Structure 1
Amino acid sequence: MPKIVDPETRRTAVAEAVFRVVAARGLPQASLRNVAAEAGLATGSVRHYFTGSEEMIEFALEVFVERISARVLAKVEPAKTGPSDEARLAAVEDLLAELLPMDDERHTEAVVWLAFADAARTSPQLRPLLRRLYDGVRLLMRRILEGSAQRGALREGLDIDVETERLAALVDGLLTDGVVQPDRMTPELMHAVLRTHLRSISR
């Protein structure tokens, strides 16, 4: 009896292979042939699910965005409803750390993120998806800051627009340094920088 393969499961497995190829060899190497080999599939099998490498990479980026979004959103509630300002501050730090290369899995994600972000500069297909992730991150940060301001936990006189971009820029910088110079920008240092910044804008 022929084996029944769920199309979405197979497509997601191909997306995982895209991530591994991109992390190890860069986005230009994420061809149908290379990704199929990484996934342990025949190239023709991958073509059954994707018409070409562009469609495959676009789908992989969608999976990437959804995965990170789900993981971050799962940590929003403690950041909003912690029993004390200190607990909520720690929860915000923990939430933001999900975007940073704190362990092997998140390091791979950060490498893939930078590769996709660079490719999106010249790819009309990828640009909207990257914009969605950027906008989602900033919306999340804005809501955290606004919630803190409403509880009286932020310093008075802060411009939420500016602080949103400042926090986003800090996370972007930590992510890049954590990928490019992981021996210097360690997880411990990233946590310390996040914590210091959050305390600097808190009452």
Structure 2
Amino acid sequence: MPKIVDHELQKAKVAEATWRVIQKHGIEQASVRNIAEEAGISVGSMRHYFSTQSELLSYSMKRVSERVSQRIYDTVFSGDLMQDIPSLLHEVLPTDNEKRLEMEVWFSFVVKSLSDDSLRTLRHQVDDELRSIFVTVFNGLSEGQLLLPGLDVAIEVERFYAVLDGLAIHAVMRPERVTPEVMVAVIKRHLLSLCQPDVHSMAQKPDSNAKKEQPRDT
């Protein structure tokens, strides 16, 4: 009986091998042969799934985007925007090894796309998807009447996006300095800077649901 091959599983395996090759050796070494060796499959099998290197890279980058989107989808939100927005952005930032791998691969892909027109459309698509997160953030803050009056929301969307992008780059370059705790603290500080003063007061109040210290027996 012929062996049944799960083609989507094989393609996902190849994508993950692509990420590892890029992280270890750089995108210049992400050849079909090197990725096939990393994935433990034949070059012929690779050609069956991807006819060109650009097609392989595009698929691998789509998988990165899909993983981020799935994490966001799976996040359980509390309904408190001042907690939920940092939690949302936490799923994008390189706050653990898995997310760091995704970010390093993404930055390599961005550089490659500057000289490969076939990758540019995907880069723009993923960029637009990420930017839309900040549009959603500001829509929520506006609907909740939390924003400072007179803000130019279009500019603030770009500024917040730039803050996240800058944190991600610095965290990849200097992880010992830009730690997950630092990234979360910067995001929270920036978020508060956009909000009205009474939101600051609320954010500084202790959690009313926190467990109170019980008196000691004497």
**Given the two structures, how large is their TM-score scaled by the length of structure 2?**
0.86
Aligned to 2:191: 198
Instruction: Give the one of 145, 152, 156 matched to 1:152.
Output: 145
* 1:143 paired residue number: 136
Whether the 8 Å CA contact 2:33–2:43 is kept in 1: the answer is yes
Q: 1:3 offset after TM fit, Å?
A: 1.7
Q: Aligned partner of 1:136: which letter?
A: E
Alpha-carbon deviations, 1:90-148, whole Å to 9, x = none? 11001111111100000101101110111111111111111111111111211211221
Cα deviation for residue 198 of structure 1 reads: 0.6
Q: Is the 8 A contact 1:17 1:38 kept in 2?
A: yes
- 1:47 matched residue in structure 2: 47
How far did 1:7 drift? 1.3
Once the two structures are overlaid, the 10-residue window that deviates more, 163-172 or 54-63, is: 54-63
Q: 146-155 or 63-72, which moves further after superposition?
A: 63-72
Give yes or no for contact 1:155–1:201 (8 Å, CA) kept in 2.
yes
Corresponding position of 2:60: 60
Counterpart of 2:113, as a letter, is A
Instruction: Decide which of 86, 99, 119 is 1:126's aligned counterpart.
Output: 119
- Give, in whole Å, the separation in 2 of the partners of 1:108 and 1:72: 17
Q: Within 5 Å, which residues of 2 pair with 1:16-31?
A: 16-31=16-31
Structure 1: segments with no counterpart, 5+ residues: none
Tell me the CA shift for residue 153 of structure 1: 1.1
Letter in 2 for 1:15: A
In the alignment, which residue of structure 2 is the partner of 1:115?
A: 108
* Pairing 1:186–2:179 present: yes
| Secondary structure, aligned partner of 1:5 | coil
* Cα offset, 1:36, TM superposition: 0.6
Structure 2 distance, partners of 1:158, 1:72, is 27
Instruction: Please tell me whether the aligned partners of residues 15 and 59 of structure 1 are also in contact (alpha carbons under 8 angstroms).
Output: yes
* 2:12 is equivalent to residue 12 of structure 1: yes
Q: C-alpha root-mean-square deviation of aligned residues, in Å?
A: 1.4
SS at match of 2:141: helix
Letter in 1 for 2:155: V
Deviation at 1:71, TM superposition (A): 2.1
- C-alpha contact 2:54 2:119 (8 A) present in aligned 1: no
Tell me which structure has the larger Cα radius of gyration: 2
Residue-by-residue CA offset, 1:7-65 (whole Å, 9 max, x unaligned): 11111111111111111111111111110111111111111111122211111112222
Letter in 1 for 2:154: D
Deviation (angstroms), 1:74:
3.8
Query: What is the DSSP-based 3-state SS (H/G/I as helix, E as strand, rest coil) of the residue aligned with 1:149?
Result: helix
Report the residue type matching 1:45 in the other structure.
S
Normalization by structure 1: what TM-score?
Answer: 0.92
Structure 2: tracts of 5 or more residues without a match:
197-218
1:146–1:160 contact (8 Å) kept in structure 2: no
Secondary structure of 1:126's counterpart equals: helix
Worse-matched range after superposition: 45-54 or 97-106: 45-54
